Structure 1
């Protein structure tokens, strides 16, 4: 689903021609033929992002964050009930590991997913620590920003990188 959503985002924000160009230039083992039920090497996503960056001159972290925001909208469309059950950003985000990732594992039993640790010891603040074997902290940030935008809450998001894109701490603080 991540790969098909990425290509859909590129088509919607740029063009189908650009989708074809980046797939061809990336020389992907899969040939760029993705399904929503398949699993693919994350290096293919990196190659696609590199090619998109080369053609748009948009910095790669910005492209990945934008994709994260877009992907949040896709998840919203797929699981509207989960959004209704969780009426705030903090409620929703604290259930990523216990609900969303559980659902993903049902569909993709071998999926290697990031993990989050949560700290709510400071009133009005949620600290999420992201850990993954893949360098997609920018994607996690985009998903968080998409969640904040969806709920329309006044929340400041601060990111502290802990490793080369594979680990980061996100400090979300309610404003006002």
Structure 2
């Protein structure tokens, strides 16, 4: 997993808890990297999961909620750092449809070694959208947070439902979005 994800997780935690508390958490947590990450490095996903679990235990927040918050944080960084991906998108459904065939294509050009989740999308109607997350990594709650922020970015009120269909080491979640009346 790209180091930028780890750096942003630490930044998010520091903004909420302060540097000293985050340093304590990282020092107390058994990590192969000792909590030292660079934006250009590659690190095992289990390190990210371990850090989120340690933060959750410290602040007594469910891990799934922290993953969603982190997804929201990362979406904001994405908007800030890659505005070109939002050009020509009229709503959040357009943006979500572009992830697999536009965003991921560009990411693979920059980082051919990166392992990305796959997304399939379907417009069920003008007001209803389905997206399926599939990965070897259990980051479907992170994905949910990104979807929530995407809809907020496009000022779209939706009812978002997630059904976890994970099994046999594959993490799959089906998201259904219904535009609010």
Q: Under a length normalisation based on structure 2, what TM-score does the superposition of the two structures give?
A: 0.92
Report deviation, 1:110.
1.0
RMSD between aligned residues: 1.3
Contact 1:37–1:107 under 8 Å retained in 2? no
Report deviation, 1:38.
1.4
The CA distance in 2 between the partners of 1:7 and 1:17, in whole Å, is 12
Once structures 1 and 2 are overlaid, which stretch shifts more, 83-92 or 4-13? Answer: 83-92
Secondary structure of the structure 2 residue equivalent to 1:140:
helix
Report deviation, 1:53.
1.0
Tell me, which stretches of 5 or more residues in structure 1 are unaligned? none
Instruction: Give the corresponding residue for 2:69.
Output: 66
Question: Are residue 172 (structure 1) and residue 177 (structure 2) matched?
Answer: yes
Question: Are residue 26 (structure 1) and residue 29 (structure 2) matched?
Answer: yes
Report deviation, 1:115.
0.4
Instruction: Give the corresponding residue for 1:48.
Output: 51
Cα shift readout 1:10-36 (whole Å, capped 9, x = no counterpart)? 011111112212211222111211111
- How is 1:115-130 mapped onto 2 (pairs within 5 angstroms)? 115-130=118-133
Report deviation, 1:106.
2.2
Aligned length: 176
- How is 1:7-26 mapped onto 2 (pairs within 5 angstroms)? 7-26=10-29
Report deviation, 1:127.
0.3
Question: Are residue 131 (structure 1) and residue 134 (structure 2) matched?
Answer: yes
Secondary structure of the structure 2 residue equivalent to 1:94:
helix
Cα shift readout 1:107-149 (whole Å, capped 9, x = no counterpart)? 3211111101111133311100110001110000011011111
The CA distance in 1 between the partners of 2:45 and 2:54, in whole Å, is 15
Q: Under a length normalisation based on structure 1, what TM-score does the superposition of the two structures give?
A: 0.95
Corresponding residue to 1:88 among 87, 91, 114 = 91
Contact 1:131–1:167 under 8 Å retained in 2? yes
Tell me, which stretches of 5 or more residues in structure 2 are unaligned? none
The CA distance in 2 between the partners of 1:75 and 1:38, in whole Å, is 18
Corresponding residue to 2:155 among 146, 152, 165 = 152
